[in-house]
Structures are given as C-alpha cells and as structure tokens.
Amino acid sequence: MQDQQAVDYYMHEAIVEAKKAAAVDEVPIGAIVVDHGTIVARSFNHRELSQNALAHAEILAINAACQAKHSWRLSGMDLFVTLEPCLMCAGAIINSRLDSVYYGAFDPKAGAAFSVTDVFALRPLNHHPQVIGGIESDVCGQLLTDFFRKIRRQRQAGKRPH
C-alpha cells in the first residue's frame, strides 16, 4: 500500500508515460511498476507501432519489471496505470503476483477490474491484489478524450484512414 502523496506522485509518472504514447500517435495509456519506492519499469501503449496485440502499457511494464528483477514474481510491488486494466492485463497482474494495482480512468468497454467485470473478485484464483481505481481519473480520461477527438477530426479531414 502507498500513502496518498505517493499514489499521486506515481500516477503522475504513469500519466507522463501516457503522454509519450499520445506523442507517437498511440492511444495514451501509461503504466509503471514500483518496488518499495523505486520505479523499476515504465511503459506506454505501443500496439500500433509494434503491431502487437500484447503491447498494452501494463504488459510492457510487467515484462520490463520481470526482466529488471530477474523474477516472474513481482510480490511486494505495485502497478500504476492510467486506464482500468483489460482482461489480459488484469490476468497478467494476477499472474505476476503484484501486490496492488492503482488505476486512473474507468473503461466501460473493456475494463476488467470493475466496469465490464471484476476478475480480481474471483475467489478461486490464487492471488488477489489490492485494487484502487479512479485515481486522477479526470486527467487520465481527458488524455483519451483529447486523443480520440483528434483522430475523429483527422478522419473527417481525410488525413487519416477509417
């Protein structure tokens, strides 16, 4: 668990990552992994540039954290992500034994931590991280709103394929 000041700080760092995604025309979602006060991994959504369905911010951050720690077990570490995790990322959070997940905006279309379903509440699973959503959700959500508005305008102007 993190105190409120730390939560705000780390979510800001995840937002920094999300902005890097927007800067390269990717849906702006950022994630970081924190190990007892140290950021051990930071990533942003990279699906289009890498043409890889797995390249969500959380997956890339968990992958980098496993490499940094030389372990598939990220016990004692926390993940911060600007958007509610999808099924794949929620499953990766469970599989990597992360202690806690802090997420920003809710995702009514694909969120697997509250919105569409809550996989962290599935009792038979062998790991149950603490989950706190809605952190800086206005800022995190506005990044997405601005991005999709830009995309729509580009499409309307014929500057981007549908």
Residues that bind a second copy (CB under 8 A): 47-48, 50-56, 59, 62-63, 66-67, 70-74, 86-92, 94-97, 108-110, 112, 116-117, 119, 122, 124-126
Q: Are the CB atoms for 18 and 82 separated by under 8 Å?
A: yes
Pick the closer one to a second copy by CB: 19 or 127: 127
The single residue of 13, 26, 48, 58 carrying the catalytic annotation is: 58
Smallest distance, Å, CB 8 to a second copy? 27
Smallest distance, Å, CB 98 to a second copy? 9
Smallest distance, Å, CB 95 to a second copy? 5
Pick the closer one to a second copy by CB: 110 or 139: 110
Pick the closer one to a second copy by CB: 109 or 162: 109
Max alpha carbon distance in the chain (Å)? 51
Known catalytic membership, residue 58: yes
Specify whether the backbone of 39 is left (phi greater than 0), alpha (psi in -120 to 50) or beta.
beta
Pick the closer one to a second copy by CB: 11 or 86: 86
Smallest distance, Å, CB 129 to a second copy? 13
Per-residue b/e over 94-133, b at no fewer than 16 CB within 10 Å?
bebbbbbbbbbbbbeeebbbbeeeebbeeeeeeeebebeb
Instruction: Say how far apart CA 68 and CA 55 lie, in whole Å.
Output: 18
Q: How many CA atoms lie within 13 A of 56 on its CB side?
A: 19
Instruction: Say how far apart CA 157 and CA 162 lie, in whole Å.
Output: 11
Residues known to be catalytic: 58
